Structure 1
Amino acid sequence: MVVDEAVAATLRGQSQVQVAIFVASCAERMTQVFTGLSGGDPARDGDTDVVIRLVEDLWDPVLSPTSFREYVTSLEGFQELEPSDEEIVDVAGIYSFYSVLVLRYAALYRVSGDVEDALKCAHASLTSMGQLDRNLPGVEFFAQEAECQQNAASIPSSNNRDSGLFLSLRESDRNVSRERLAAVQSRLGG
């Protein structure tokens, strides 16, 4: 697994609230990639709405696990996660897949409370950014993601999603997400 050993060790020693903040942060950094690539398709409006609601709920660290079961079921019905014998080769499909995978593992963590799901969420984010680095010269999205994960893993526990620390982390993650979407769109030529 490509997740930094120190981040993995930190997550394994944290409270569920702290790990919930971590997965929310990972999901936030991939959200605009999904919504930006799928948002213009009327057939995906429902999926986009699910993603937006999920990310908002992920930032509530005390929301009950039952609230996330429906999200997991919804995400598993997305076209990105449907079984297929064909490999995903188009750029939009690849990064939409990774976005949904990150979101699914974030939601799974909130259902199960199993840190391994949080680590899979982090791993999917890193893998996606490593692939983006390989396909765009002169970028360092993998290193940026690793740093973002270190920062999110070190956020102190708080149930107050309106605290300055939460808001600052989330705004930073939104900016990163915008950068990622722009980079993926540049690969699409748009």
Structure 2
Amino acid sequence: MVVDEVVAAAIRRQSQAQVATFVASCAERMAQVFTGLYGDDPVRNGDTDVVIRLVEDLWNPAISADAFQGYVTSLDGFQELEPSDEEIVDVVGVYTFYSVLVLRYAALYRSSADVEDALKCAHASLTATGQLDQNLQDAEFFAQEAELQQRVSSLGDLGADPIQRLRDGDRAVSQERLVAIQGRLTR
């Protein structure tokens, strides 16, 4: 589930603002997976709040690198990223892990502007959707993610209205993924 060469090349030559939009878009498409699966869990309310604030801040170019380093530290404390000798096998655990991983790499990019973190964010998104495809009949989430990454990586600098339309579309995709994962839970 490697990032498409065209996407990687485009990201490597884009401005920081353009790559910031790319990682915000990837994160938005995975955020509802976490918030939707843990939104009703009072033990995870604080984590859900962190995810919601992070995604909001990822779309804001004025947020400082230091603030994003704080998000990285917070995400590193999530149970999904705690070292374990046990493999993650339950549906919720697998997809919340990928969601947190995508969010972490997006926050890392914004804290350091290291393009490799943006590529890791994209890679984690592709891996998550590839895994979802393997577990659902006739699913095409991987192809959808690859296409969205291609589209977003080819965008130039965007104004507020196009960014809002991009974000709205990403939210709809995130909701589709959440519904698909919730469908796996009822089987």
Taking structure 1 as the reference length, what is the TM-score of the superposition? 0.96
Correspondence for 2:180: 183
> Which residue of structure 1 aligns with residue 77 of structure 2?
77
Structure-to-structure mapping, 1:27-46, within 5 angstroms? 27-46=27-46
**Contact persistence 1:17–1:62 (CA under 8 A):** no
Deviation for aligned residue 1:40:
1.1
Selected match of 1:165 from 162, 167, 172: 162
Match of 1:126 in 2: 126
Tell me the secondary structure at the aligned position of residue 139 of structure 1.
Answer: coil
Cα deviation digits, residues 5-38 of structure 1 (max 9, x gap): 0000000000000000000000000000000111
Q: Give me the whole-angstrom Cα distance separating, in 1, the residues matched to 2:165 and 2:108.
A: 25
Secondary structure at 1:138's aligned position in 2? coil
2:23 maps to: 23
Rounded to whole Å, the distance in 1 between the matches of 2:161 and 2:111 is 27
SS in 2 for 1:66: helix
Q: CA deviation at 1:123?
A: 0.2
Distance in 2 between residues matched to 1:5 and 1:156, nearest whole Å: 18
Q: Distance in 2 between matches of 1:176 and 1:99?
A: 13
Question: Number of aligned pairs?
Answer: 187
Residue 65 (str. 1) matches residue 65 (str. 2): yes
| Partner residue, 2:109 | 109
Gaps of 5+ in 2: none
| Whole-Å separation in 2 of the counterparts to 1:29 and 1:155 | 17
Deviations 1:62-94 (A, max 9, x none): 322111011000000000000000000000000
Q: Name segments (4+ residues, structure 1) moved above 4 Å.
A: none
Report how far residue 165 of structure 1 moved.
0.7
* Counterpart Cα distance in 2 of 1:62 and 1:138: 41
Q: Secondary structure at the match of 1:128?
A: helix
CA distance in 2, matches of 1:52, 1:179: 18
1:14 aligns with 2:11: no
1:61 CA drift (Å) = 2.3
Residue 132 of structure 1: CA displacement? Answer: 0.4
Q: State percent identity of aligned pairs.
A: 71
* TM-score, length basis structure 2: 0.98
Q: Measure, in 1, the Cα distance between the counterparts of 2:62 and 2:117.
A: 17
Amino acid at match of 1:181: L
One-letter amino acid of the structure 2 residue matched with residue 57 of structure 1: D
